[in-house]
Amino acid sequence: MPPHGANYVALADKARDTLPARNSSPHQMNDANARRTNGVTWRRVLVACVGVFVLIASWYAAEVRPSLLLERGTLEAVSKFARGMFPPDFSPAFLRIVLVAVGQTLAIAVTGTFLSILIGLPLGIMATATLWRRGVLLAGERHNFITRMFAAFSRATLALLGFMRAVPDLVWGLLFVVAVGLGSLPGTLALAISYGGVLGRVYADVFEEVDARPLEALHAMGATRAQILLRAVLPQAAPSITAYTLYSFECCVRAASVLGFVGAGGIGYEINISMRLFEYGQVLTLILAFVALLALNDALSRRIRRRLRANVSRKASLLNRKSAISETAQRESVEAGAIETSDAAIRQTAAEQIFSGQLVLNNTRGVHQFKHQLNSRLKTYTLTFAVIVVLASSFYGSGLTNGALGDANLFARSGRFIGAMFPPETDFAFLRSLLKPLAQTIGISVIGTLIGVTIGALLALPATTTLVLHEHDEAGRRSRVEQFARYAIYFTARLILNALRSIPELVWVLICILAVGLGPFAGTLALGLHTGGVLGKLYAETLEDVPVKPIEAMRAAGARPLQILLWGILPQARPVLASYTVLRWEMNLRVSTILGLVGGGGLGQAIYNNIQLGFYPRVLTLIVVIYLLVISTDWAGEKLRVRQVSV
C-alpha cells in the first residue's frame, strides 16, 4: 500500500481542492470525485458572482432599509398596534359580524370549489395528451384535418389552463370586483377561474398517468373516446382526483379568507376594514376566527383523507388479487392456445385486460355497496341531503343565486370591462416604466425569502424535538429545572412559528405598513415573516425526520448536540432543506406580485393604481407580464431543484 498519509496531509493543507496527480487509476477517479464536490471551478465562481449580484440588486430594488426598523417611530407604531390588539373585541354585535364573515368565507370556498370542478373537469379532459395528441389511441390513426384540429385545440386548452393558474387569485378577484362589483360574487368567480385552472391541470396530469394498457385494449375493441374515458381512464384516476379535489378545497378556504382584501367579501374584507379603522382589537378577533377556521378545515380534511386512504388501500388489495387471478387465466389461455392462432391469443389477452379494467369499476361499486349496507340507507340519504343543503346555502351565500345572475346589467358591465382591456397597452414608455415594479417584485421575493430562511433556520433549531427534548429513557441524569427549560424553549419556538405562519401575508403587509410605511420594504418584511413561519416548521420537520441511526452512533461516541447537528443531521437533511427553500421562493414570487394590492409594492401596486385610474389596457399588459414572470419562475425553479437533487 502506498504511503497516503503524507499526501493526505498536503491535501488537507490545501483545502482539499488542489490535488497532486496520482498514478493508479482508482485514485484518479476518486480525486476527480473529490474535486467535483469540493473544488473551486470557474463555473462555481460565476454562479457565486451572479448570486451576489442578484442579492445586491434585490436589496436595492426592494428598498430594504434595516435602519428604519430601529427608529423610534417604528417601534412606537408597533407597540401601539400590539397594545391596541388587547383586549380582543368580543362584543356580541361584532361577534355577529365575525360569524357572518366566516359563513360568507365558507360559502365562497364551497361554491368556488364546486364551480372550479365544473370548469376544470372538461378542460382537464380536453388537455389530456393521451386522449387527443399522442399515445396508443392515436398511434394507428391517419393524421387528417380533424385529428390535427383536436390536437391543436387540446394544446390551446393546456395553455389556457396555464394562464388561469399563473395569474394570482387576488388579481382575478380584483378584476371581477371591477367587472361585477363588490361582494362575495367576485370572490367566488375568482376562485372558480383560478382553481379551475389548477384542477384542470391536475386532472390532465392524473389522466395522463393512468395505466395505458386498458385504454389500448378498449381502443382495439373499437370503443369510442368517450367510452374509453368513462370505462378506463376515470375509474383508474378516481382516487387521486378525489384526493386532489379535497386538497384544492382546503386551499380555497385559505384563498377565500384573503380575497376580501380586494373587496371580494369574507373575513379578509372585515380584517381590511378593521385595520383601516384602527380597531386592532377587532383585528385580533378576526385573526383568531381565521386561525380557528383554518385549523377546523385542516382537521376535517385530514380526517376525510385518512378515511379515503383506507378505502383506496382496500380497493388496491382487491385489485391486486383480481389481477393475480387474471394473470393465471392468461397463462392458462396461452397454454390452451396451442389450437388457436397467436392472433386469437392476443385478442384473448386484450379481452382480459378489458375485463380487469371493468373490474376496477365493479370494485368501486362493490366497496360502495358494502359501505351502504354497513351504514344503512338512511345515513346515505341524510348525507346527500346535507350536501345539497350545503351547496344550496353556499350558492345563496356567495351571491350567485340571489338575482345577481339574472341582472342583465351585470353581463353588459362585464362585457364592457373586458372590451375596454383590449388591445393591451404596448406603448414603449409604459413598458419601460414597468421595469421598476418588475424589479421590485423579484427583489421582494428574493429578500423576503432570505429573511424567511434566516427566521426559519433560527427558530427551527429550538423547535426540533430531537435536538431539544430528551427521550424519556435516554441515559444520563436530568434535573427537573433543565427539563422544564427545554420544554419551555421548545413550545415558545413552536408558538412563534405558528403565529408567523397562520397570519396571512396580506395581514402582515398591513401590519408592516404601520411600522415602516407604504412600499416594497413593507411587502418584503411581510413576506419574510410569513415565510419564516412556514419554512421554520418545514425545516424542523425535516430535521426531525432524518434517519436516526447515524445520530445514535455519534451520541454513543460522545458527540455534543452541535456536533450531531453539523455532522449527522445537516448532511442528511441538506437536499430536502434546499428543495423546500427553492419551492418556497417560487411561491413567494407569485405572492410578491399581489402584495402591492394592499400597498406592499411591486407589480401588484401598478395593477391596483391602473385599475383605480381606469387604464384597463395597461392592466391587461400587466397581467401578461405577471403570467410571463410566473412561468419563467416555474422553469427556473425546476432547473434549480434538479441541480440540488443531483448535488
Partner 1 sequence: MIYALDSITKHYTTRDGVVHSLDGLSFGVKPGERLAMIGKSGAGKTTLFRLLNATLRPTSGTIYFDERNVGELAGRDLRAMRRRIGTIYQQHHLVPSLSVLDNTLCGRLGHWSLWCTLRSTMRPTKHDAEEALHALEAVGLADKRFARADELSGGQQQRLAIARVLVQKPDVILADEPVASLDPTLAENIITMLVKLADEQKRTLVVTLHAVELALRHFPRIVALREGRLAFDTEANRVSRDALEDLYTNERASANEKDSPDAATWRELRCTR
Q: Report the interface residues with partner 1, using CB under 8 A.
A: 1, 4-5, 8-9, 12-13, 15-16, 24, 26-27, 30-31, 33-34, 37, 473-478, 547, 549-550, 552-560, 562-564, 566-568, 571-572, 574-575
Give CB contacts under 8 A, 24+ apart, made by 393-396. Answer: 393/107, 394/106, 394/107, 394/108, 394/110, 394/111, 394/114, 395/107, 395/111, 396/107
CB of 586 to partner 1, least distance (A): 25
Which residue lies nearer to partner 1 by CB, 1 or 339? 1
Q: CB of 554 within 8 A of CB of 563?
A: yes
Which residue lies nearer to partner 1 by CB, 11 or 439? 11
Choose among 122, 308, 127, 323: nearest CA to 211: 323
CB of 640 to partner 1, least distance (A): 19
Which residue lies nearer to partner 1 by CB, 571 or 614? 571
Cis amide prior to 2 (ω within 30 degrees): no
548 DSSP 8-state letter: S
Taking the C-alpha atoms of residue 35 and residue 57, their distance in angstroms, rounded to an integer, is 31
Report the number of secondary-structure helices (H) and strands (E) in the chain. 29, 0
**Tally of CB atoms within 10 A around 443:** 26
CB of 570 to partner 1, least distance (A): 9
CB of 567 to partner 1, least distance (A): 6
CB of 560 to partner 1, least distance (A): 6
Which residue lies nearer to partner 1 by CB, 6 or 429? 6
Which residue lies nearer to partner 1 by CB, 254 or 641? 641
CB of 311 to partner 1, least distance (A): 25
Q: What are phi and psi of 374, to 5 degrees?
A: -65, -40
Task: Count Cα neighbours of 388 within 13 Å in the Cβ-side half-sphere.
Answer: 6
Which residue lies nearer to partner 1 by CB, 506 or 564? 564
Q: Which residues contact 216 (CB under 8 A, 6 or more apart)?
A: 136, 137, 350, 353
Taking the C-alpha atoms of residue 288 and residue 89, their distance in angstroms, rounded to an integer, is 11
Gyration radius of the chain over CA positions: 29
CB of 539 to partner 1, least distance (A): 17
Which residue lies nearer to partner 1 by CB, 213 or 641? 641
Strands, E assignment, 463-598: none
CB of 476 to partner 1, least distance (A): 5
Taking the C-alpha atoms of residue 39 and residue 346, their distance in angstroms, rounded to an integer, is 57
Which residue lies nearer to partner 1 by CB, 156 or 562? 562
